[in-house]
Structures are given as C-alpha cells and as structure tokens.
Amino acid sequence: MSKAAYNPDKFRELLLYLAERSESDPKFGETKLNKLLFYADFTAYRELGKPITGARYHKLEWGPAAVPFVPIERELVQEGALVVRGNLVGSKVQKKPIALRGANLSRFSGIEIALVEQLLDELREYGGRQVSDLSHETPGWQVAAYKEDIPYETAFVESIELVGALA
C-alpha cells in the first residue's frame, strides 16, 4: 500500500465540492460520490504522483468505498455543511448528498481541481449502478480481497493480466 498521507481536511472539502458540483445531476448519490472520490484519488496518484486526499479505499460489493466516507459524511451533516436527501428512483431510494456550504478550495492545487472537473465531465452521464459496474473493471478492485485496501499502486496497471505479471 502506498505511504500517501491521509488528509482528512482535503477529504471533507473534496466530498463537499463533489456534492456541490453534482447538485443538478439527477444520477448523483452516495454510490456515485464514493466512486468519484476513488477515481479522483487514484487518477491523481497515477498522473500527479500522489493522491488528492490519501484516503484508504476498500473493495466492497458495489465497488471501491472510501474508509472515512461514512464518519466524515456524518460529521458534515452534524455541522450543517451537508444534508443527505432520500429520492425515490424507480423502486429504490437514492441517498443524495447536498452541500449546504461551498467547499474550501484553498487546500487544492489548480491541477487537482482540473482533474476533478474532468472526472465530473467524464462520468456525468453515469448513474450509481453504471459507475459502480465501471469501477469493477479497475485492476485495483479486481485484485483486492473483499473489505481490504485497494493499493494505490494499482492505478498504474492497465489490465488484470499485468497485475498477475507484477505479483
């Protein structure tokens, strides 16, 4: 696993930023938010040499999930910075985080924000289920054991066959 230091302040602000930027996205919910956080950190690790937040991500049934997601989301709700609304989508309830304050972007570099904006654009048309299915194709999710960390180093691997060759 990478020795990238976890920055809880950046995680909080990135979560808020993604919620703020996705408020008008009818397909945005907690599942998609978790995948956006994952892609932001792993893409930054690959392209910039370090993740944006350094959060740990576990392999779960619906794809990668940030270990600090639930406690940080809960804190933001308690502070009045975020609300989670339940929207009925088909026969399921979509939990949609909505930012009640703007994110503090002073913690981020311009290139980090540009990377996040690119991800938002690329995944805008995907719903939670679709982005979850897409995340199952990442080598990191494929090689990690259930409920175990997904190594940041897998961001450099393009296919599962290469993972076996590296082991």
pLDDT digits (tens, 9 = 90+) for 97-140: 999 999 999 999 999 999 999 999 999 999 988 999 999 889 99
Burial class (CB in 10 A: 0-12, 13-18, 19+), 13: buried
Task: Give the C-alpha separation, 2 to 131, whole Å.
Answer: 24
Long-range interactions of 4-7: CB distance < 8 A, separation 24+: 4/45, 4/50, 4/51, 4/54, 4/152, 5/54, 6/53, 6/54, 6/55, 6/56, 6/68, 7/53, 7/54, 7/107
Q: pLDDT, tens digit, for every residue of 86-97?
A: 877 777 778 999
Q: What is the pTM of this model?
A: 0.90
Orientation of helix 8-21 relative to helix 30-48, angle to 10°: 120
Q: What percent of the chain has pLDDT above 90?
A: 78
